[in-house]
Amino acid sequence: MTVTIYDVAREAGVSMATVSRVVNNNPNVKPQTRKKVYEAIERLGYRPNAVARGLASKKTTTVGVVIPDISNSIFAEIARGIEDIANMYHYNIILCNADKKKDKEIRVINTLLEKQVDGLLFMGGTITEDHVQAFQTASVPIVLCATKDENGTIPAVDIDHEAAAFDAVSTLVRHGHREIAMISGTLQDPANGYSRFQGYKRALETAGIEYQEDLVRIGNYRYESGVEAMKYFLGLKRKPSAIFAATDEMAIGAIHSVQDEGYKVPDDFSIISVDNIRMASMVRPQLTTVAQPMYDIGAVAMRLLTKLMKKENVENAQVILPHETILRLSVARLND
């Protein structure tokens, strides 16, 4: 039924080794022979079996990607960066959603490894001991993407979330704000949660502003939780003049919450956040935010992984990509 390399060899009157050589672009084939083989391939409609090749060569030219949720625009953007570079280096991607659930993460890591991926790109929640252990059983390189492990021993690419948050809040301070609230993510989340919260605190401290616990609400990164948190701030007797949201989505929720209550952004409340998702420039007022280069995070991580897979020696396997404050219209200078 299926035509194999052996059929082609017979049809072309050569050995299967020769067919293998032309299929793999091995230069050691006489042009004439090469031509014969190509013709036989054409005639028979031969299609190389990558699984057999993988078994024989111990390379699958596919890499595993574990991702929290592909329907989340941030990860989708990162994934696009990954895929583009993978494609460029002739790798394919096996994509697995794991929803930041530890069990699911460990499970997909293992099935990916069973599938003999040549490398692994991991995005997820907290990196636990169990993760590290799963990684260690792997005989292929692994790079973390948009996450980091505590001890910084695993190759990774990310931004400095603490510094990004610091910059965001400092921008508020520079505009004269001193009553600055924060809509945070859960402090259990090391990157988007804890680190960004730490950046907020450090910025306040640096500015000599006292940290007030009731000026912090914990959201779940989503729009609705931004709306809710802002409602709470709006109900305070002593309202903040500015809000730092850990993510754009929550910030946009906050903007609409403000507007729905008849207030104005930035006239009555300034709002800033971190991410720079596409939507940030699709709201009114357009959102001032600290951009993280999502596509690049994916692209650089994948590029790093290709080097690791080729056993090239990399100078620095812990790369921090720069972030950048994008001044738009949701932050106003405070005239007091």
Using CB under 8 A as the criterion, which residues of the chain lie in contact with its own copies when the complex forms?
A: 1-2, 45, 47-52, 54-55, 60, 62, 69-73, 76-77, 79-80, 83-84, 87, 92-97, 110-116, 137, 139, 223, 252-253, 256, 259-260, 278-279, 282-284, 295
Per CB under 7 A, 29 contacts DNA: yes
Strands 156-159 and 142-145: parallel
| Amino acid identity for residue 103 in this structure | D
DSSP state of 270: E
Q: How far apart are CA 139 and CA 20, in angstroms?
A: 27
Q: From the list DNA, its own copies, none, which binds 83 (C-beta under 5 to 8 Å, kind-based)?
A: its own copies
Nearest to 329 by CA among 272, 275, 279: 272
Q: In this chain, which stretch among 11-19, 172-180, 284-292, 305-313 interacts with DNA, using CB under 7 A? A: 11-19
Judged by CB under 7 A, the chain residues 48 through 107 that form the site for DNA are 48-49, 52-53, 55-58
Q: From the list DNA, its own copies, none, which binds 327 (C-beta under 5 to 8 Å, kind-based)?
A: none
How deeply is 1 buried, as exposed, middle or buried, from its count of CB atoms within 10 A (0-12, 13-18, 19+)? exposed
| Closest distance of CB 41 from DNA, Å | 10
Q: From the list its own copies, DNA, none, which binds 32 (C-beta under 5 to 8 Å, kind-based)?
A: DNA
Q: From the list DNA, its own copies, none, which binds 20 (C-beta under 5 to 8 Å, kind-based)?
A: DNA
Strands 288-291 and 142-145: unpaired
With H, G, I as helix, E, B as strand and everything else as coil, classify residue 315.
coil
With H, G, I as helix, E, B as strand and everything else as coil, classify residue 229.
helix
Q: In this chain, which stretch among 18-26, 105-113, 214-222, 255-263 interacts with DNA, using CB under 7 A? A: 18-26
174 alpha-carbon distance from chain centroid? 30
Q: Of 77 and 228, which CB lies nearer to its own copies in the complex structure?
A: 77
